[in-house]
């Protein structure tokens, strides 16, 4: 069961229309290292985890990622909602406009739809946690790329917050991996 809370986790209030930046950021909505992929990955992997620490961490980080998914959707919405058709054409966002107008659709900036092949749920705790640590690093790198492309502080502040969360999640998954190692060694089933 989930409850909704009527606020973003961190403030998102972008005043300046910028469809080009929206296109760049959209990948974190529905792209390979995006927040939707992160959330589905962790919430799906939690079932096969053998230790209480691993289950709780995947459950809770998977939940936080949904809040990040909403932050990214809010950013894309605010960057595009007042865009004129001239601005959309000038930033080469016309191809997105054809299919979605100003709707928020989970895809990359170039229009590749979200795909569950971005994630794995291997049924093998060690394999899954290794994937999760890599995923947090890839998301961190993506936010750094986006920060290179951004210049509006209203856009940069939420991106910086999200980048920092990836680092914390990486840390927690590392601790989960150590505990899993202890657990698997104690079972001696080889």
Residue with tokens 């016309």: 94
Task: Spell out, one character per residue from 79 to 118, where the chain touches another protein: x when CB under 8 A holds, - when not.
Answer: ----------------------------------------
- Answer for which of 78, 107, 121, 142 binds another protein (CB under 8 A) is 78
> Three-class SS of residue 104?
coil
Q: What is residue 93's DSSP assignment?
A: -
Cα 165 to its chain centre, rounded Å, is 10
Question: Which window, 95-103, 105-113, 132-140, 169-177, contacts another protein (CB under 8 A)?
Answer: 169-177
**Long-range contacts at 80-89 (CB < 8 A, ≥ 24 apart):** 80/17, 80/19, 80/22, 81/17, 82/17, 83/17, 83/19, 87/17, 87/19, 88/19
Is 64 near another protein (CB under 8 A)? yes
Alpha-carbon span 152 to 159, nearest angstrom: 11
Assess 57 for contact with another protein (CB under 8 A).
yes
Residue 60 touches another protein, criterion: CB under 8 A: yes
* Minimum distance from residue 148 beta carbon to another protein (Å): 25
Tell me which residues touch another protein (CB under 8 A): 1, 3-15, 52-53, 56-57, 60-61, 64, 70, 73-74, 77-78, 168-169, 172, 175-176, 179
């Amino acid at each position: 069961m989930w409850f909704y809370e009527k606020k973003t986790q961190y403030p998102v209030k972008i005043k300046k229309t910028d469809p080009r930046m929206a296109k760049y950021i959209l990948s974190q909505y529905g792209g390979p290292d995006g927040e939707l992929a992160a959330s589905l990955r962790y919430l799906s992997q939690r079932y096969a985890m053998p230790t209480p620490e691993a289950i709780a961490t995947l459950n809770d980080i998977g939940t936080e990622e949904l809040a990040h998914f909403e932050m990214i959707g809010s950013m894309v919405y605010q960057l595009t909602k007042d865009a004129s058709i001239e601005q959309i054409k000038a930033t080469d966002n016309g191809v997105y406009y054809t299919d979605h107008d100003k709707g928020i659709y989970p895809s990359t900036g170039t229009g590749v739809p979200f795909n569950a092949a971005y994630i794995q749920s291997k049924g093998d705790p060690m394999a899954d946690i290794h994937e999760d640590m890599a995923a947090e690093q890839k998301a961190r790198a993506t936010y750094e790329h986006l920060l290179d492309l951004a210049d509006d502080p209203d856009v940069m502040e939420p991106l910086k917050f999200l980048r920092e969360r990836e680092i914390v999640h990486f840390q927690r998954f590392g601790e989960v991996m150590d505990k899993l190692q202890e657990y698997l060694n104690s079972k001696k089933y080889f």
